[in-house]
Amino acid sequence: MEILQKCSGVLLGLLLLQGCAQKSTWYRGNTHAHTVICGHADSSPQLVTQWYHDHGYNFLILSEHNHFINPDSVKMPVSLRDNFILIPGEEISGPKIIHSTAMNIEKLVLPDKGLEIKSHIIQNHVDITREAGGRSILNHPNYRYAVSQGDILPVNGLNMFELYNGHPLVANNGDGEHISTEALWDSLLTRGMPVFGVSSDDAHYFATIDSAHSNPGRGWVMVNASELTGDAIAQAMYHGSFYASNGVMLDYCSIKNGKYRVRVNVAQTMDELTSTELKGRLVEATEPGFTIEYIGHKGEVLFTTNNSRADFLISGVSHYVRPRISYFRDHPSGGSEAFFAWGQPEFTDGRKLQE
Ligand SMILES: [Zn+2]
Ligand SMILES: [Zn+2]
């Protein structure tokens, strides 16, 4: 796998210190999974950990509702790989169905349940997560359409949200009245918010695998980090050094010499797509194969190719550009099923992350 350090503007401060050639590795992880502790899932923390370990993941967050699972309390797999860790976390579950993954926290954090304004609830999650040494991901905005653009824009210090959540009750694609999470993403980016898209499982059921259950293996992130520690992974994600996937795997997805470069790992993607846990998006009949698009301001598609690799010159792009890589295959319904990898936006307008 080709390894490249993402040299984006938001990383500039780090890179000045570290140099752009620092070695880094892609790590596969899931930031969102539940256990019997929440009362509506079917497996113990140990079994959930075992599933991700045995399926080749490098990290997992056991993200229980308002409950902190200390990784030291979890019995790890017998033949534990040395490239697998649990990152401490929790799913902060506040009023108005607003949930956030508190990633890499040091202790239990509890939301202020007296708040009523949605942007204040999200801000509370961001703030208490940061106070506990962690980073916040706003979860499933389209679960019962609880969170909209107007709720997110006023929040300070939030720069990750769940673009894809594998729970069958989460309407990632929207409906006739609500926009998709991807359209929401472009809307936030277009209004100047530096925000990155995460893909997660939100898994609850490990013993029953079917499309009606929230199963593992449907959404994950590939993080380009300097080492496999909670701090390094959280820091890399916070700065956008990752891509999100629900089926498509990449060799690289990074900036080099003024170009945003993407190359699909075709063999690995084909292997992933044999998984019965995956759920594609049903779309109208489309020629089978890969499509790489570069998407910019207001969600405009700036470039499209049906090749499995593409380089896109960033100079001249206004505000931001992000790659989306799709794979289409025939579906028994007569239409097609689409799977994706979503690269993170590169900002060309100087917008800054809050440190
Ligand atoms: Zn949730
Ligand atoms: Zn959850």
Q: How far is CA 256 from the centre of its chain?
A: 22
Asked whether the beta carbons of 165 and 200 are under 8 A apart, the reply is: yes
Total domains present in the chain: 1
CA–centroid distance, 180 to ligand 2, in Å, is 19
Domain assignment of residue 33, yes or no: yes
CA–centroid distance, 318 to ligand 1, in Å, is 34
Domain assignment of residue 146, yes or no: yes
Asked whether the beta carbons of 312 and 303 are under 8 A apart, the reply is: yes
The residues whose Cβ lies within 5 A of ligand 1, an ion, are: 99, 139
Task: Take residue 295 and report the two structure tokens written for it.
Answer: 């998407």
Domain assignment of residue 218, yes or no: yes
What gap in Å lies between CA 272 and CA 217, rounded to an integer?
10
CA–centroid distance, 288 to ligand 1, in Å, is 34
Query: Any idea what the Cα angle at residue 248 is, between residues 62 and 175, rounded to 5°?
Result: 75
Domain assignment of residue 339, yes or no: no
b/e burial code for range 21-30 (CB count within 10 A of at least 16 → b)? eeebebbbbb
Domain assignment of residue 323, yes or no: no
Asked whether the beta carbons of 153 and 118 are under 8 A apart, the reply is: no
CA–centroid distance, 140 to ligand 2, in Å, is 9
Nearest ligand, measured from the Cα of 140: 1
CA–centroid distance, 329 to ligand 1, in Å, is 30
Those residues with Cβ within 8 angstroms of residue 129's Cβ, 6 or more apart along the chain or in another chain: 92, 100, 102, 103, 105, 109, 135, 136
CA end-to-end span of the chain: 30
Nearest ligand, measured from the Cα of 203: 2
Domain enclosing residue 118, as ranges? 9-250
CA–centroid distance, 140 to ligand 1, in Å, is 7
**Tens digit of pLDDT at every position of the chain (355 positions):** 334 444 444 444 444 444 444 678 999 999 999 999 999 999 999 999 999 999 999 999 999 999 999 999 999 999 999 999 999 999 999 999 999 999 999 999 999 999 999 999 999 999 999 999 999 999 999 999 999 999 999 999 999 999 999 999 999 999 999 999 999 999 999 999 999 999 999 999 999 999 899 999 999 999 999 999 999 999 999 999 999 999 999 999 999 999 999 999 999 999 999 987 888 999 999 999 999 999 999 999 999 999 999 999 999 899 999 999 999 999 999 999 999 999 999 999 999 988 7
Task: Take residue 121 and report the two structure tokens written for it.
Answer: 């609830």
Asked whether the beta carbons of 214 and 168 are under 8 A apart, the reply is: yes
Those residues with Cβ within 8 angstroms of residue 152's Cβ, 6 or more apart along the chain or in another chain: 119, 122, 138, 141, 158, 161, 184, 188, 193, 195
Domain assignment of residue 230, yes or no: yes
Nearest ligand, measured from the Cα of 100: 1
Domain assignment of residue 21, yes or no: yes
Task: Take residue 101 and report the two structure tokens written for it.
Answer: 């993954």
What gap in Å lies between CA 99 and CA 61, rounded to an integer?
15
CA–centroid distance, 41 to ligand 2, in Å, is 10
Domain assignment of residue 227, yes or no: yes
CA–centroid distance, 98 to ligand 1, in Å, is 7
**CATH at residue 215:** 3.20.20.140
